[in-house]
Chains A and B, each alone.
Chain A
Amino acid sequence: MTAAATAKAPAGAPGRTTGPRADALAGTAVLVRFNLRRDRVRTSVWIAALLLGTLGTLSSLQSSYDTAAKRASAADSLDSPAGLALSGPAHYLNDYTYGAMLGHQLISFLGVLIALMSVLMVTRHTRTEEETGRAELLRATVVGRHAHLTAALLTAGLANLVLGLLTALGLGASGAAGVGWHGSLLFGAVYAATGIVFAAIAAVTVQFSQYSRGASGMALAALGAAFALRAVGDAGSGALSWLSPIGWGQRTYVYVDNRWWPLLLSCALAAAATALAYALSVRRDVGAGLRATRPGSPVASAGLLQPVGFALRLHLGMLIGFGTGLLLLGAMYGSVLSEVEKMIEDVAEVQESLEELGGASITESFASSVMTLLGVVAALYAVLAALRPQSEETAGRAEPLLATGLSRDRWLGSHLTVALAGGLGVLLLGGLGFGLAGAATTGDGELVVELTGAAMAYAPAVWFVVGVAVVLYGWLPRATVLSWVLPGYAFVVGYLGQLLGFADWLRDLSPLGHVPMLPAAELEWTPLVVLTLLAGALVACGLAGFRRRDLETK
C-alpha cells in the first residue's frame, strides 16, 4: 500500500525518499480518514436510509403480496410500458418472487439515490475543496498531486462497499422466500457497483468544471441519462438499457438468474472513467477547470442592470441544464410511444386493463406516469432555484447588493421570479420534448399540444414547492434543507406508490399528488387554482420573514 506507507509523511519526515508514484499519492490515507471523519454523520445517514429503504421495501412486499396469486397480479399490473419504465425489464415478471420484485423495482429506484450519494461525495471532497481554496492549503503540505482524487474515490468506494455488504447481509438474513444468500450477495454487489460507477463519473466531471455545482450537475445529468435510457429501453425493446449502468445492474436478473457478468461492464466503466479522471487531472491547475476562463464584457449590459435580469444571469446555467435535461427526458419517453401503442394491439389482456383505468388508454396512462416523473424533476429544479438566494447570501454576495438601493423584497423577488417562471419553463420543455417525439413516432400531431399542456398542469405544484422553500428561507434559514423533503417524497410516492399501491392519503400529502393525472384523467381546475393561491401565500409569507430577519454574514 503506497498510500499507507506515505501517509505519515505530513506529520513525520518530509525528506524521506519515495518514488514519484508514491509522491503523487502522498497523504492519501490521511485524507481518507479525514474525509470519513468529516462525513461520519452524513454518510451514516445515507447508508442507514438506503439500507432501511431496501429492507423496509422487502417487508412491505411480504405483507402486501403474501400469496402467489397477489404476486402474479402485481406482475400483471406492471407488465405495461408505463409499469416497465418505472420498474425494470420484463424478464423479472416470469416468476415474481419477493427477490424478483426487489431486483425489478428497487435497483432503478435506489440505484438513483446511491448514485446521487456517490456523486455528491466525490464532488464534495474534490471540486468543492478546490473551489473554497481548502485544497490549496492541503496541497501545500506533503500531499501528493493525486491524493485528493484518490482519497475521494476511496472514500466513496468504501461507503458503497459498506452499503453493499450491509444490504447483502440484511437481505440474506431476512429469510424471505425467494431471497437466497447468493442473490443477496449479488444484490449488494449491484448496489456497490452502481455507486462506484457514478463516483468514477463524478471524478471525471469535477475535472471539467471549475465549480462544484457545475461538476455535480454534469454527473447528475449523466445519472438522469442512465435512468432515462433504462426506462425507455425497458419500456421498449431493451436495447437502450444496455447503455445504462443502472440497466446493467438490473440485467444481472438477481434472484432470478443471478448473473454476475453484467457487473463486469460496471467495473470496466468505473475503471475507464477513473483512468480518464487521472489523465485529465494532470492537464489542469489546482482550482482551474480544463478550459481557461475567457475574459468577459468590461461593462454591464442594460439587461444585467435590472434585478430580474441579474438573477436570470445567475440562474441561467441551472435553467439551461434542467431545460435541456427535461427536453431530452421527455423526448426519450416520447420516442417509445409508438411501441406502447403497438403493445395495445398485441396484448389481449389490455382490454381489461383499459376498463380498470376508467376509460383511459394505455398510452394515456403511460403518458401520465411520465408526467409525474417530469413533475418531480421540475420540483427538484424548483428547490434548487428557490434556494439559490441562500447560497448567494451565505457566500457573502448578497450583502453588497443589499447595501445598495435594492430592497430585500426586490432582491429575493427577482430570484423567485426566475424560479417560478423557470419551473413553468422546464415543465413546458419536458412536455414539449415528450409531445414532439411522441408525435413524430406515432404520427399524431395533436399529442404536442396535449402533452405539453399536461406537463404544464404541474406548474402550480412546482410553484407550491418554491413557496415552501421560500418560507423556510425567510423564517428558518438553517432548516432550508427540509425543502428537499417535497420532491423526495413526491418521487417516493409517485414512483414506489404506483408500484406498491400506496393509499390515497399518502399520495395526497404530496403537492404533486393533487395534480390531475393528465392526459389519463380529466382536467380539474380546482386543485390547480388552490395550489397556485397557496404558492402565492407561501411566497408572500417567505418574503415577510426575510424582511424581518438578520442577513447571514460571514
Chain B
Amino acid sequence: MMKATTAISVSGLTKSFGQTRALDGLDLRVGTGEVHGFLGPNGAGKSTTIRVLLGLLRSDRGAASVLGADPWQDAVALHRRLAYVPGDVELWPNLTGGEAIDLLAKLRGGLDRRRRDELIERFALDPAKKGRTYSKGNRQKVAIVAALASDAELLLLDEPTAGLDPLMEVVFQDVIGEARAAGKTVLLSSHILAQVEKLCDRVSIVRLGQVVQSGTLRELRHLTRTTVEAETASPVTGLDTLDGVHDVRVEGEDGLRVRFAVDGPHLDAAVRRLTDFGVRGLTSHPPTLEELMLRHYGDAPPSTTDGVGGTPGPARKASGGTDGPQDASHDTTGTTGTDRGDDTLGASR
C-alpha cells in the first residue's frame, strides 16, 4: 500500500465568529512525514485552523482533509490517529497529572506504559500532583506527554511549549526530532522562532486568517533581502541608485563602512558595485526568521516593493543610527552570516 504524500490539505478555509472573521480563505498543505511550522501573530487564526482540523469547529467554507479524511465527519476515527497539544492546557483540578495522561492516552486508543514513564522521566514531571497545583509549564508537560505516549501518526501542536523552561524546551525538541525520525507528521504552531528554525522542514506564515507565505526556510529567505555590510578602501557612492537596494547607511567617521539590504535577484549587481571601491571586509547574512516574521507581523499588508521588507526590526535600525561605531566593531568580530542569524533568533526569545 502506498502511503499518501499529503497529511493535511486545506484550501479556501473560512470561519467567522459573529462579526469577526478568524479564517479568510486559508490554504495549507503539510506533507506526510514533515515537520511543518505554523507561524503568525496572536489572533492570526492558527488555533482556529487547528481546531477546524480537529473537527472541534466547523468551517463556514472551504475544504479540509486530514490524513485523507474529513475532520468534521470522521472526527472520532481521525482522532485515533492523531494527538493534540493545546497552547493553554486546562486540567481537572481533582485529578492528578498521571491520571489525566492515562485518560487522554487511553481515550486516544491506547497507552504505551513504558513510553509514558520514560517521557514523564525525561520531562521531570511529578504525576502524583493534582491538576490544580501544577504550574503552567507543568500543565503543558502533561498534555505533551499524553500526546507523545500514544502512537499517533500526526501531531497537532498549538504552541506546545508555552511556559516550559529552556531545559524542557531542549527535551521537547529532542522528542519532536525522534517523532520525525519515526516518520510522524507534525504541525507545530509556535512563536519560538529558534524552535521552528531548528525543527521545521517547511513553514507557513499566517496573517489575518490567510497564509501569506509558505515554503522551506531556504525558499522564504530567497524571496527576501540579504543584509550586506562592507568595509571599503574609499567611500561607496551610488549604491542607492541600484535596483533592489534598500536602506543604505554609511557608517563610521571616515565613511568607509556601509550597510544595506538587497533583494535576492539584485545581490550580484550590488556586490559588483562594491568591488569598485576596494572591498576590505564583507559580511552578508540571509534574513533571519525573525526578520521574515516582522515583515508579515506588521499592520501594513506585505509587499516587496514598498520598503517594508527592508525593515529588519526597529531595534536594529535604532542601533545603527545612534551607536554606529560600536555596532560596526561588533560586526568586525567576524561572526558569519548564518551564525549571527541564529544569535538574533536566540535573543528574540
Please list the residues of chain A having a beta carbon within 8 angstroms of any beta carbon in chain B: 210-211, 293-300, 304-305, 307, 310, 313-314, 317, 395-397, 399-408, 548, 550-551, 553-554
Contacts and interface: CB of A to CB of B under 8 A. Distances in A.
Which 5 A-B pairs rank lowest in CB-CB distance, beginning with the nearest? A300-B102, A298-B98, A404-B107, A298-B127, A296-B96
B57 A403 contact: no
Interface stretch (B78-86, B187-195, B231-239): B78-86
A553 B231 CA distance: 55
B86 A407 contact: no
A293 B102 contact: no
Most-contacted residue by chain B among A211, A400, A407 (CB, 10 A): A400
B76 A407 contact: yes
Given A300-B106, A304-B103, A405-B76, A293 B128 contact: no
Contacts of B259: none
A395 B133 CA distance: 16
A404 B88 CA distance: 17
B143 interface: yes
A299 B79 CA distance: 23
A553 B51 contact: yes
A305 B90 contact: no
Contacts of A300: 98-99, 101-103, 106
B92 A551 contact: no
A295 B79 contact: no
B84 A403 contact: yes
Given A297-B128, A403-B56, A551-B56, A397 B92 contact: yes
B109 interface: yes
A400 B127 contact: no
10 contacts: A299-B102, A304-B103, A305-B107, A314-B94, A395-B90, A404-B108, A404-B109, A405-B108, A550-B56, A553-B56
B54 interface: yes
A314 B104 CA distance: 15
Nearest to A292: B133
Given A305-B106, A401-B104, A405-B107, A299 B98 contact: yes
Chain B, interface SS category: mixed
A295 B97 CA distance: 10
B95 A313 contact: yes
Interface in B61-118: 75-77, 79-80, 82-84, 86, 88-96, 98-99, 101-104, 106-109
B56 A296 contact: no
Contact of B96 (A295, A310, A396, A548): A295
Given A297-B98, A405-B76, A407-B76, 11 more contacts: A211-B93, A295-B96, A299-B127, A397-B90, A400-B143, A402-B56, A404-B107, A405-B77, A405-B107, A405-B109, A553-B51
B313 to A, nearest CB: 31
A404 B79 contact: yes
Given A300-B99, A304-B99, A406-B76, A550 B127 contact: no
A396 B90 contact: yes
Contacts of A293: 129-130, 132-133
Contacts of B54: 402-403
Contacts of B76: 405-407
A397 to B, nearest CB: 5
A553 B94 CA distance: 22
B91 to A, nearest CB: 7
Interface in B9-39: none
B285 interface: no
Contacts of A297: 96, 98-99, 128
A21 to B, nearest CB: 32
B58 interface: yes
Interface string B264-287: 000000000000000000000000
Given A295-B128, A405-B80, A406-B76, A551 B103 contact: no
Contact of B128 (A210, A296, A305): A296
A404 B104 contact: yes
Contacts of B127: 298-299
A61 to B, nearest CB: 47
A395 B139 CA distance: 14
Contacts of A298: 96, 98-99, 127-128
A396 B133 contact: no
Contact of A310 (B51, B103, B133): B103
Given A404-B107, A406-B76, A407-B76, A553 B98 contact: no
Nearest to A397: B90
A307 B104 CA distance: 11
A295 B98 CA distance: 11
Contacts of B128: 295-298
Contacts of B130: 293-296
Interface string B291-328: 00000000000000000000000000000000000000
Contacts of B92: 314, 397
Nearest to B78: A405
Contacts of A313: 94-95
A317 to B, nearest CB: 8
Nearest to B108: A404
B99 A296 contact: yes
Nearest to B152: A404
Nearest to B146: A400
Contacts of A314: 92, 94
Nearest to A402: B56
B210 to A, nearest CB: 20
A313 B130 CA distance: 14
Contact of A295 (B91, B94, B129): B129
B99 A550 contact: no
B40 to A, nearest CB: 17
Contacts of A408: 75
B51 to A, nearest CB: 6
Contacts of A317: 94
B132 A550 contact: no
Nearest to A305: B106
B56 A400 contact: no
A551 B91 contact: no
Residue among B51, B84, B103, B143 with most chain A CB within 10 A = B103
A400 B86 contact: yes
A406 B107 contact: yes
Contact of B89 (A210, A400, A548): A400
B61 to A, nearest CB: 15
Interface string B40-60: 000000010001001011100
Contacts of B56: 399, 402-403, 550-551, 553
A515 B76 CA distance: 40
Contacts of B82: 403
Interface in B130-154: 130, 132-133, 143, 146
A313 B127 CA distance: 18
Nearest to B93: A211
A550 to B, nearest CB: 5
Contacts of A405: 76-77, 79-80, 107-109
Contacts of B101: 300
